[in-house]
Structure 1
Amino acid sequence: MSEAVKVEMEIPDIEKMAHELWNKMQSENYHVNWKMWPGKEACYEGKEPHGAFLTTYVNTAAHEVIMQKKEKMPPGAIIIKENYMPDKNIASITVMHKIEGFAPDAFDWFWVKFAPNGKVMTEEKDGKTITLAGKVAGCIECHGKQTSNDYIFTSPLKLEHMY
């Protein structure tokens, strides 16, 4: 067995899913080929825990739901939020990817926080290192306040957008 294959097999499934998602984002050149969230522009004002400024991109599946004012995102929908510091340098990239059956109690969202270089970020909590991918408790807890809007804060899905 080659070293590359051996290393790939050792990556936990969640981390592997996160890496596959990052590769998809890069191969689809999301900065160029995906649309920004309707009604939002690049580097709009943000707030914690994301960043002072945000840019939100959506894939075609997510964009269609927003434009058609549907109630929920379909499996395959991806929302990318670039999180910027006050000096407008990028701090991280947070992503929501809806995967059917992944997390039924959290509307099937897969969460991940990437460093700008694509590495899955971690945080220390109670003496343990938590990988910020998969069913991320902090993301689910916060976004769970928006169950009527499919765990999304950016703007309402079902209502008229003002732009």
Structure 2
Amino acid sequence: MKKRWMLAAVVVWMIIGVGVVNAMKPEPDPDKLWRYITEVSAYDSWGFWGDHVGLQAGGAPHGPFHKVFVNKLGLDSKKPPVRYGTLIVKENYGDEMGRDLKAVTIMYKVKGYNPEAGDWFWVKYSPEGKAEKFGRPQGCIDCHASMVDQDYIMVHGFGAEEE
């Protein structure tokens, strides 16, 4: 009898835990997403993919330099497609010192959001957090579609870390 109560307590705890985690996931909404990555789960505390650490050279349309931060769900995804809930945040810089922040761009994997383009929700923010483009910007989709085999992700080669 005692084991049954313990098992029931564990199941209830797991259900509550899953509910809390799901409730913390931001909606595909630019204002809520900005609050989430700056207040709830500060993106600059996340990690980098091992093959793309720190300030890196970049190119148009993101600028000559960038840093790409990835949440735990993304870092734990070992092959494409990445897990739903993955957040990829790119700081786009105009200088090689990482002082001239031009924009913050995000890819957010949301189940059922946009199946035709990998279920990604895209946002381009000003450095102050004002959404300039968001949702399903055709320019983002068209450019990243060249990496559809990598789940639209351009800065990480899956499997590169294990080699």
Alignment TM-score, normalising by the size of structure 1: 0.77
RMSD of Structure 2 on Structure 1 (CA): 1.8
Segments of structure 1 that go 5 or more residues without pairing to the other structure are: 1-14, 122-131
Superposed CA offset, 1:101-130 (max 9, x none): 000100100000000100011xxxxxxxxx
CA drift of 1:25 comes to 0.2
CA drift of 1:46 comes to 0.8
Structure 1 segment 6-155 matched on structure 2, within 5 A: 17-27=29-39, 28-32=41-45, 34-65=46-77, 69-86=78-95, 88=98, 89-121=100-132, 132-155=133-156
Do the aligned residues in 2 keep the contact of 1:39 with 1:162 (CA within 8 Å)? no
C-alpha separation in 1, matches of 2:160 and 2:70: 18
CA drift of 1:30 comes to 1.6
Q: Which has a greater percent of strand?
A: 1
Structure with larger Rg = 2
Using the aligned pairs only, state the percent identity: 34
In structure 1, the residue corresponding to 2:76 is in which secondary structure? helix
Aligned length: 134
Do the aligned residues in 1 keep the contact of 2:54 with 2:67 (CA within 8 Å)? yes
Cα 1:40–1:156 shift into 2, 3 Å: closer
Alignment TM-score, normalising by the size of structure 2: 0.77
Do the aligned residues in 2 keep the contact of 1:53 with 1:85 (CA within 8 Å)? yes
C-alpha separation in 2, matches of 1:114 and 1:45: 20
Superposed CA offset, 1:62-83 (max 9, x none): 0101xxx222111100000000
C-alpha separation in 2, matches of 1:149 and 1:39: 14
Q: Which amino acid aligns with 2:136?
A: K
Do the aligned residues in 1 keep the contact of 2:51 with 2:157 (CA within 8 Å)? no
C-alpha separation in 2, matches of 1:45 and 1:16: 29
C-alpha separation in 2, matches of 1:64 and 1:71: 11
